[in-house]
């Protein structure tokens, strides 16, 4: 009997993170979740709960080591769901954000997921070729649309940078069967969902991405109830 696959969810908030964890668990995955509130023990749902500080990229490899130690396998699916932004002190001036805050937010939005992807690939190379492998980054429209609102400056920089390396990685590792996705929930008309995101819709779509269903490209825009939808 084949061992159950493992998913590691980095950033396990009450909406997307919780829904995605529940969705993968319902499909037979062993689930590990990492957040600032992680305990190092099991949650009531049976997930491995890990403490994480995504502003410190050098802390990421230890999370993967803990998952492998607990489940005797690296995660075949990694979901990066953490995000950060720092409002500018002058709400009308994006360049008033201190450089150390820009660095900290870029660590959360870009550098830590990059390190997580490195760790994912290292683990995937030890898994059977038949195992579906996927790295899924929770994105938004900011990689494609410059929203002239200063509060989004650091978040937009991070999402844009991550979208680029995710696209490169998806192409570079295609021959190995490794998939990388920038998942962006949209309204039916293609506009941003903003804060009105749908947790269960993310869970359904991420499960599809993890199973490599539907020939979805790396820029994985989706709509509740429809799944992948291409927007110009």
Alpha helix positions (H), the chain: 16-26, 60-71, 99-106, 112-124, 153-172, 199-210
213 DSSP assignment: -
The answer to the question of residue 94 being in a domain is yes
Does 72 map to a domain? yes
C-alpha torsion angle, residues 221, 223, 229, 232 (rounded to 10): -70
Whole-model pTM?
0.97
% of residues, the chain, pLDDT over 70:
99
pLDDT higher than 70, residue 139? yes
CATH number, position 46? 3.40.50.720
pLDDT tens figures, 180-190: 999 999 999 99
pLDDT, one tens digit per residue, over 187-213 is: 999 999 988 999 999 999 999 999 999
Percent of the chain whose predicted confidence (pLDDT) is above 90: 91
pLDDT at 1 over 80: no
Domain housing 57:
6-228
Contacts with 87 (C-beta within 8 Å, 6 or more apart), sequence order: 97, 150, 151
User: Does any domain span residue 1?
Assistant: no
DSSP state, residue 4: P
Assess whether pLDDT exceeds 70 at residue 2.
Answer: no
Return the higher-pLDDT residue of 116 and 41: 116
| C-alpha neighbours within 13 Å on the C-beta side of residue 208 | 20
Domain total of the chain: 1
Rounded to whole angstroms, how far apart are CA atoms 180 and 182? Answer: 7
CB 95 within 8 A of CB 173: no
Residues designated catalytic: 159
Which among 222, 57, 229 is positioned nearest to 138, based on CA atoms?
Answer: 222
């Amino acid at each position: 009997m084949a061992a159950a696959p493992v998913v590691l969810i980095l950033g396990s908030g009450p909406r997307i993170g919780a829904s995605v964890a529940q969705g993968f668990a319902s499909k037979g995955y062993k689930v590990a979740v990492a957040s600032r509130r992680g305990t190092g023990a099991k949650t009531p749902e049976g997930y491995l709960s890990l403490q994480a500080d995504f502003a410190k990229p050098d802390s990421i490899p230890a999370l993967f080591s803990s998952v492998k130690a607990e489940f005797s396998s690296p995660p075949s699916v990694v979901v990066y769901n953490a995000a950060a932004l720092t409002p500018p002190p002058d709400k009308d001036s994006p360049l008033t954000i201190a450089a150390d805050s820009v660095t900290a937010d870029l660590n959360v939005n870009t550098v830590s997921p990059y390190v997580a992807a490195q760790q994912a690939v290292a683990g995937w190379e030890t898994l059977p070729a038949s195992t579906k492998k996927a790295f899924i980054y929770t994105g938004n429209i900011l990689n494609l649309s410059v929203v002239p609102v200063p509060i989004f400056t650091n978040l937009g920089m991070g999402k844009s940078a991550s979208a680029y390396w995710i696209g490169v990685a998806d192409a570079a590792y295609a021959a190995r069967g490794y998939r990388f996705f920038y998942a962006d929930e949209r309204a039916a008309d293609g506009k941003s969902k903003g804060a009105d995101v749908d947790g269960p819709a993310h869970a359904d779509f991420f499960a599809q991405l993890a199973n490599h269903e539907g020939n979805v490209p790396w820029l994985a825009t989706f709509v509740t109830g429809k799944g992948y939808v291409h927007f110009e």
